[in-house]
């Protein structure tokens, strides 16, 4: 075939060539334009408006090719090929692993038989607390925690706001120029408690498993609002309705309507009413966990109102009994949550082997859940780290690594510091020091100066 144009196309060819010559001399402007566009993107006002859109687009593309609800963790105590486990890491290693220690589960020691403390004064039919400053989480990334705990503190006269809390507990969610960033996906309750202890003089807090409506009502009637951590199905930033964890500040109840009143920071807004049944259903996914924030000099009042939940171990045992019953009576996603709660209560009580077996059951139920309508709560490990603790302290290090890999793989970047920390600890126990250090440092990119990762590096003789 001739490399030159045929006769009939020759006139068109000779018209195109000069045009190409004219356009080619402007090609040098393309890289300059790209550099200018990149530079403008990082100008703070522009970056603040566009960064979340770029991040959402990247997440959508990644989730299209790696649907997070299809990722299933399959626990196994059998020796497996380490190269397969490390397929998503930064290097390949070849190890000869000894089988994990075989441990025979033993029943935990029986706790006391607990009965609720009767209240001497009948509770009012309804309570509505006020005096706090309502805050939402809009225009911030993953800010339901800072907003809710800020409200809980302002109820007692604190003068801060969500950003004071957020900058302390989520330092990775603001870049060096103060622009909001989407790095840290969640803050665990203990981190808010540590913030209160270190930064709010005269205030204290306590966390318990096993909450119920009666406990909520007793506290509210005595003037103590609470923060509950629960799950629900909501449209996320990508426009997809799926399960996610959420803090809610509870400030009232109405027995006649059988409703609690919450200050919702996401879509539902202030003074939102939720039926008792719906609230309890969502609360189940976090083992009915709640945090009470109160003046330190009123701790005895809170302990009295907590009744059988006053002792944290007794509360965990009560939650364990509830979870065991529900694991046998419920089906579908609620059965998954119930088995997960069995494990969480046992892990809290340091009964790690039985906790690990309970989590095995939970993940087996999870694998059977339907994925067609996003019923799998794939974000579960963003908010709760009990399985990592249970597997780790049962010497099931490979399960820790595989669970972390399953959790992190659908992410566009390693932005779950707890998963990175526990995978690093498991690598360290298996002699993979380089991988452990990499994970600890990756966790610190998500959460700068995070004490657990700093300590883990120090134990290896390394600096952050």
Tell me the pLDDT tens digit for each residue of 361-395.
999 999 999 886 568 999 999 999 999 999 999 99
Task: Say yes or no: 286 and 392 in one domain.
Answer: no
* Residue 325 forms part of a structural domain: no
Task: Say yes or no: 50 and 137 in one domain.
Answer: no
* Residue 207 forms part of a structural domain: yes
Q: What are φ and ψ of residue 140, in 5° steps? A: -140, 155
For residue range 16-44, list pLDDT tens digits in order. Answer: 455 555 555 566 666 766 677 666 656 66
So what's the pLDDT on residue 65? 62
So what's the pLDDT on residue 23? 57
Q: What are φ and ψ of residue 246, in 5° steps? A: -160, 135
What CATH number corresponds to the domain at position 432?
1.25.40.10
What CATH number corresponds to the domain at position 159?
3.90.70.10
Task: Using CB atoms within 10 Å of the CB of residue 9, give its burial: 0 to 12 exposed, 13 to 18 middle, 19+ buried.
Answer: exposed
CA–CA distances in Å: residue 241 to residues 237, 293, 375: 9, 32, 9
d(CA 457, CA 464): 7
Task: Say yes or no: 163 and 306 in one domain.
Answer: yes
* Residue 326 forms part of a structural domain: no
So what's the pLDDT on residue 95? 32
Task: Say yes or no: 137 and 212 in one domain.
Answer: yes
Domain edge (last residue) among 65, 83, 100 = 65
Q: What percentage of the chain's residues is helix, strand, coil (to nearest 5)? A: 50, 10, 35
* Residue 117 forms part of a structural domain: no
Task: Say yes or no: 58 and 136 in one domain.
Answer: no
Low-confidence ranges of the chain (pLDDT < 50): 1-10, 12-16, 52, 78-118
* Residue 398 forms part of a structural domain: yes
Task: Say yes or no: 308 and 160 in one domain.
Answer: yes
- DSSP of 20-71: HHHHHTTTTHHHHHHHHHHHHHTSHHHHHHHHHHHHHHHHHHHHHHS-GGG-
* Residue 146 forms part of a structural domain: yes
Task: Say yes or no: 59 and 198 in one domain.
Answer: no
So what's the pLDDT on residue 241? 84
So what's the pLDDT on residue 302? 98
Instruction: Please name which of 57, 51, 37, 56 lies closest in space to residue 177, comparing C-alpha atoms.
Output: 51
Task: Say yes or no: 18 and 43 in one domain.
Answer: yes
So what's the pLDDT on residue 130? 97
So what's the pLDDT on residue 19? 52
* Residue 323 forms part of a structural domain: no
So what's the pLDDT on residue 411? 76
How many domains does the chain fold into?
Answer: 3
Task: Say yes or no: 231 and 357 in one domain.
Answer: no
So what's the pLDDT on residue 236? 72
* Residue 30 forms part of a structural domain: yes
Task: Say yes or no: 352 and 415 in one domain.
Answer: yes
DSSP state of 351: -
Task: Say yes or no: 287 and 434 in one domain.
Answer: no
Task: Say yes or no: 355 and 428 in one domain.
Answer: yes
The residue range of the domain holding 78 is 71-111+331-459
């Amino acid at each position: 075939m001739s490399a030159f144009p045929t006769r009939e196309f020759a006139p068109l060819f000779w018209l195109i060539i000069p045009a190409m010559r004219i356009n080619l001399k402007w090609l040098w402007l393309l890289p300059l334009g790209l550099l200018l566009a990149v530079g403008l993107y990082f100008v703070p006002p522009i970056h603040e408006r566009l960064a979340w859109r770029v991040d959402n687009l990247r997440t959508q593309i990644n989730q299209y090719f790696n649907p997070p609800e299809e990722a299933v963790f399959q626990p196994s105590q059998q020796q497996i090929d380490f190269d397969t486990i490390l397929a998503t890491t930064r290097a390949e290693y070849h190890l000869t692993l000894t089988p994990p220690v075989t441990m025979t589960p033993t029943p935990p020691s029986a706790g006391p038989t607990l009965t609720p403390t009767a209240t001497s004064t009948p509770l009012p039919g309804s309570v509505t607390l006020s005096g706090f400053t309502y805050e939402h989480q809009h225009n911030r990334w993953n800010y339901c925690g800072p907003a809710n705990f800020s409200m809980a503190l302002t109820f007692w006269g604190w003068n801060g706001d969500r950003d004071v809390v957020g900058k302390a507990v989520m330092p990775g969610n603001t870049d060096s120029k103060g622009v909001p960033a989407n790095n840290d996906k969640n803050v665990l309750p203990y981190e808010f408690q540590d913030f209160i202890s270190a930064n709010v003089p005269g205030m204290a807090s306590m966390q318990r498993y096993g909450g119920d409506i009666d406990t909520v009502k007793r506290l509210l009637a005595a003037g103590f609002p609470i923060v509950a951590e629960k799950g629900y199905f909501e449209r996320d930033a990508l426009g997809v309705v799926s399960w996610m964890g959420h803090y809610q500040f509870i400030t009232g109840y109405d027995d006649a309507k059988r409703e609690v009143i919450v200050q919702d920071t996401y879509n539902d807004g202030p003074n939102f009413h939720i039926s008792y049944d719906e609230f309890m259903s969502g609360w189940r996914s976090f083992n009915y966990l709640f945090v009470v924030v109160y003046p330190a000099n009123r701790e005895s009042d809170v302990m009295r109102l907590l009744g059988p939940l006053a002792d944290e171990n007794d509360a965990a045992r009560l939650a364990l009994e509830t979870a065991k019953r529900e694991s046998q009576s419920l089906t579908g996603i609620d059965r998954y949550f119930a088995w997960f709660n069995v494990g969480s209560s046992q892990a809290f009580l340091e009964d790690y082997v039985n906790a690990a077996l309970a989590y095995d059951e939970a993940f087996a139920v999870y694998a059977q859940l339907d994925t067609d309508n996003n019923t799998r709560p794939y974000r579960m490990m963003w908010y709760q780290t009990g399985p990592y603790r249970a597997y780790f302290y049962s010497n099931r290090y490979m399960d820790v690594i595989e669970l972390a890999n399953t959790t992190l793989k659908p992410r566009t970047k390693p932005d779950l510091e707890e998963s990175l920390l526990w995978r690093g600890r498991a690598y360290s126990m298996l002699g993979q020091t380089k991988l452990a250090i990499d994970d600890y440092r990756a966790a610190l990119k998500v959460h700068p100066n995070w004490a657990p990762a700093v300590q883990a590096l120090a134990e290896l003789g390394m600096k952050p």
